[in-house]
Amino acid sequence: MSHQIISPLPGIFYRKPGPGKDPYVNEGDTVSAGQTIGLVEIMKQFSEVRAEFDGVLESFEIEDFGVVNPGDVIAVTS
């Protein structure tokens, strides 16, 4: 069963917790419900984007430093 991870926010999507750090998760990795997969920056605040279900992160639909809008699919898990 595939699940979409949706951004509730507009802003800039980051796959890493900070410059020079490793990405939170890579495509093909196993993720668990509640696990952080990236950040969205808006209004100088960084909000964590989390997986809602256990599974495998199949693909990112937004690239690192990409612009997101509310409702956009950030990643797909299965």
Residues that bind another protein (CB under 8 A): 6, 8-12, 41-45, 47, 67, 69-71
Q: Which is nearer to another protein, 42 or 56 (CB)?
A: 42
Nearer to another protein, 33 or 56 (CB): 33
**Distance set, CA 20 to CA 11, 40, 59 (Å):** 21, 17, 22
Nearer of residues 22 and 65 to another protein, judged by Cβ: 65
Q: Which residues contact 15 (CB under 8 A, 6 or more apart)?
A: 23, 24, 25, 37, 38, 60, 64
**Which two structure tokens, joined as six digits, stand for 47?**
């909000």
Minimum Å distance from CB 74 to another protein? 12
